[in-house]
Amino acid sequence: MLTIDWKERLNIDTADFLKNKLPKGDYDFEIIFIAYPERVNGKIPAEVITQVASNIVQQLGKKHEAYLPFYRALWNKKGAYGKLAFAQILSKLLNRKPTVYLPLLDEALATASMAEINALFDKIMLPLLRKYPEKYLNTVFQYSNSANLLLQKSALNLLIKLVKKREDLLPQILAYLSRQWLSPLGETVSYHITMLKTVSKLNPEYYLKIWQEYGFSRDPQIVELLCASITDFYPELEAPVEIWTKSGNARLKKAATAAQRTLNKKKGAQ
């Protein structure tokens, strides 16, 4: 935990950096914290970096928009420390001016690894989605349809996390995702299954509504999604699953047979 003395020193050194270094295009922000004596696995603790990043935002005040090249340099050229600072800075600034900072976030997402995308989403987008879903949910929907597979997967994972925090958003999110079921899901199938399993645990009534809507489907992908999502016994599911087990379509029959075994096992455990 940062001591009061070190918080004060970091604050002073941040002010010096912003006054004497940043205006000259010197983006070596490590000078602010490199003297911090403690290390975790040989690295400066994350708490120190986030403190510095928060200081930067606070001290820049209304001038924050003038330093987009600096924020880009943090992400692109300053390694793990820079990426951590970038995420903290955008978590403070994005909602102030989405038209400026969402494109900057998109730039970072385009080159990020999946772990980095997940970290950015957890730090920046999840808190905003919880507070302002009407402003940011469509952005995440777009990410879930991205040509970037890593971004697709991370966006779906983000939506799963969101419904656990905002169950009231289930209808809107599932209405959107279910439209994707009409096209091949490829490597994102498991995320849609996880979403359905999550819905089943959070709101069994809504889960059964999904089955009522799609329980007569003959689309192999939709049937596979529904069947793979079963985690408990619902008597309402026995009839559609039974029908699918008698299908001449091999994919339907295979998925339904496995689902029937799950239902029977869960039924016997009651």
In a domain, 120, yes or no: no
* Cα gap 225→246, rounded to integer Å: 18
In a domain, 46, yes or no: no
In a domain, 242, yes or no: yes
In a domain, 92, yes or no: no
The confidence score (pLDDT) of residue 135 equals 98
In a domain, 238, yes or no: yes
In a domain, 133, yes or no: no
Handedness of CA 240, 244, 246, 247 (dihedral sign): positive
Q: What is the pLDDT of residues 115-135, one digit of tens each?
A: 999 999 999 999 999 999 999
The confidence score (pLDDT) of residue 270 equals 67
In a domain, 87, yes or no: no
Q: How far apart are the first and last CA of the chain?
A: 49
User: Looking at the 3D structure of the chain, how many domains does it have?
Assistant: 1
Q: Which two tokens stand for residue 243?
A: 């029908």
* Cα gap 135→270, rounded to integer Å: 44
Q: What is the pLDDT of residues 197-232, one digit of tens each?
A: 999 999 999 999 999 999 999 999 999 999 999 999
- Cβ atoms 173, 163 nearer than 8 A: yes
* Cα gap 231→234, rounded to integer Å: 9
The pTM (predicted TM-score) of the whole model is 0.94
Residue 261: give the domain boundaries: 203-270
* Cα gap 19→36, rounded to integer Å: 21
Q: What is the pLDDT of residues 144-167, one digit of tens each?
A: 999 999 999 999 999 999 999 999
The confidence score (pLDDT) of residue 1 equals 81
Give the number of C-alpha atoms closer than 13 A to the C-alpha of residue 200, restricted to the C-beta side.
18
In a domain, 147, yes or no: no
* Cα gap 182→170, rounded to integer Å: 19
